[in-house]
Amino acid sequence: SASQDSETPRSSAQPDSRASSSELEKLRGYHDLAKDALERAYRKDVEGSIAEAIKLYRLGLSIIYEGLSITVQATGLGAAFHKVAAWRGDMNNWQQHVLERVRDLETMPADSPTVRAPQRITLQRAYSHSPRLQSSAVPPQSHGVASAGRTGAAGSGVIAKEEARLREVIEGEVLDRRPSIRWKDIAGLAGAKQALQEMVILPAQRADLFQGLRAPARGLLLYGPPGNGKTMLAKALASEARATFFNISASSLTSKWHGEAEKLVRMLFKVAAEMQPAIIFIDEIDSILSERSAGEHEASRRLKTQFLVEFDGVANGSERMVVVGATNRPQELDDAVRRRLVKRIYISMPDAGTRRALLQHLLSGQPSRLSKADVERIVAATNNYSGSDLAALCREAAIIPIRDLGPAVSCVPAESIRPMDVGDFEVALRSIRPSVSREQLAAFADWTAQYGTLS
């Protein structure tokens, strides 16, 4: 991405602590998710809902396996090292207990007394001292034990296996554990953030308040010209909402799972219901749920139908789930899909204030010699630039001091490179032009007038 590229020369000298801390976040995410799944499994187990319990135990196991396969460079992080050790220790510990329990449940006859007496797994051990730090306790192949797993006594064969396989896909590729973007990383868009806060975050936290007439909308569309933060917003939503976040992109559904995409969609909603509160995010929703046409592929028609059916289940049910779509081509969205995404939020081009904030954010990692007045000039000159155009502009301006060095660049010390100045931006403005045309903007305005709910 923009800021990473421009920082490469500086950060290569030191250990990359940023990458490490995002890995740390991820590990924490897996740890917490596993704990959550196992707690629910245990409850089911105590209740005697054995099949449910096994399912959740397996879910927990597959999360643990994934979590344990993360390698965290924790050396440079001090206190973080102990957290890593504690989380990994917990997961190792749970894994042993759960594997035993699942084996028991699967092999004992249903009326056996041992089945009725689950052993409490000590989930409270999080953050406590851990016996050892293993590099990777479980090789990837053993994944199968957890979810594709032994159908065991049941032996209900093909269907169960198929289900387990789809479930594994959802858990492995669609379930997004703690994306690392936060509200504060996103410049401007106060209106959109506010709307998301009311429609998604608060209802997820206070389900008791948001009932009846106050029940939140279950479908939401972020639309607007490309490169203005729709995808970023959804990712931030996931980390702020403390809900399980399922992120499916059009490409993963249509290319990889072509032909069985509708089965995947069914499983997606099922797993999401088990892990509520949940957010299902469909990026570039227009490309999977576009207007139905005569020449359309049978498979994609089935996919759409399945989606509508599942969506109606969510809209009429009591599950705490919300479907969020994002698109830069709202005109191509299927009518039925559009109707279901009842709140439609326009993510517009950045105004002057947003551009200023965005510039300051982009420039913060890089030495520059820009006065307040210089920044204002750039803000004024980028009236029709999108967020990603601005990022490209800064990247271009940042490279000019390097380019000026010519062949000397290979031996010059990093500190002696001159900071970028307003002249670099003037040059960059000539080569980086706005990517969204006036006609496109007019088309968005039309669509907003007709279908938008917030601007």
Q: Which residues of the shown chain bind Mg ion in the complex (CB under 5 A)? A: 230-231
Nearest approach in angstroms of CB 238 to ligand ATP is 13
Decide if 154 contacts 160 (C-beta within 8 A): yes
Pick what 152 binds: Mg ion, ligand ATP, none; C-beta below 5 to 8 Å, kind-dependent: none
The only residue of 68, 146, 199, 232 in contact with ligand ATP, by rule CB under 6 A: 232
CA separation for the pair 118, 259 (Å, rounded):
41
Nearest approach in angstroms of CB 327 to Mg ion is 8
Pick what 228 binds: ligand ATP, Mg ion, none; C-beta below 5 to 8 Å, kind-dependent: ligand ATP
Taking the least distance from each CB to Mg ion, the nearer of 225 and 401 is 225
Q: Report how far apart, in Å, the C-alpha atoms of 428 and of each of 146, 381, 400, 421 are.
A: 53, 11, 8, 11
227 binds ligand ATP (CB under 6 A): yes
Nearest approach in angstroms of CB 392 to ligand ATP is 9
Write out 230-242 in H/E/C secondary structure: HHHHHHHHHHHHC
User: What is the arrangement of strands in the sheet containing 343-346, beginning at the earlier edge strand?
Assistant: 175-176, 244-249, 278-283, 321-327, 219-223, 343-346
Read off the amino acid at residue 414. A
189 binds ligand ATP (CB under 6 A): yes
Tokens 């789930």 found at: 321
249 binds ligand ATP (CB under 6 A): no
Read off the amino acid at residue 325. G
231 binds ligand ATP (CB under 6 A): yes
The only residue of 230, 263, 320, 343 in contact with ligand ATP, by rule CB under 6 A: 230
196 binds ligand ATP (CB under 6 A): no
CA separation for the pair 436, 385 (Å, rounded):
8
Which among 298, 287, 323 is positioned nearest to 308, based on CA atoms? Answer: 323
Which among 157, 172, 338 is positioned nearest to 264, based on CA atoms? Answer: 172
The only residue of 226, 313, 365, 434 in contact with ligand ATP, by rule CB under 6 A: 226
Interface pattern 272-311 for ligand ATP (x via CB under 6 A): ----------------------------------------
Decide if 292 contacts 250 (C-beta within 8 A): no
CA separation for the pair 162, 370 (Å, rounded):
60
Pick what 186 binds: ligand ATP, Mg ion, none; C-beta below 5 to 8 Å, kind-dependent: ligand ATP
Q: Which stretch binds ligand ATP (CB under 6 A): 137-145, 187-195, 203-211, 286-294?
A: 187-195
| # residues contacting ligand ATP (CB under 6 A) | 19
Tokens 């749920």 found at: 289
146 binds ligand ATP (CB under 6 A): no
Interface pattern 2-21 for ligand ATP (x via CB under 6 A): x-------------------
358 binds ligand ATP (CB under 6 A): yes
Helices assigned H by DSSP within 281-408: 285-288, 298-316, 335-340, 352-363, 372-381, 387-405
Which among 356, 333, 355, 352 is positioned nearest to 344, based on CA atoms? Answer: 333
Q: Which stretch binds ligand ATP (CB under 6 A): 54-62, 118-126, 220-228, 257-265?
A: 220-228
Evaluate the CA torsion angle 381, 385, 387, 388 in order and state its sign.
negative
Taking the least distance from each CB to Mg ion, the nearer of 72 and 390 is 390
Q: Which helix (H) or strand (E) holds 53?
A: helix 50-68
Taking the least distance from each CB to ligand ATP, the nearer of 172 and 353 is 353
Q: Name every residue whose Cβ is closer than 8 Å to that of residue 448 and which is 6 or more positions away in sequence.
A: 346, 455
Nearest approach in angstroms of CB 347 to ligand ATP is 6
Nearest residue to Mg ion by CB is: 231
186 binds ligand ATP (CB under 6 A): yes
**Cα–chain center distance at 270:** 18
152 binds ligand ATP (CB under 6 A): no
Taking the least distance from each CB to ligand ATP, the nearer of 175 and 187 is 187
Pick what 344 binds: Mg ion, ligand ATP, none; C-beta below 5 to 8 Å, kind-dependent: none
Taking the least distance from each CB to ligand ATP, the nearer of 63 and 391 is 391
Binding site for ligand ATP (CB under 6 A): 1-2, 186-189, 226-232, 326, 328, 358, 387-388, 391
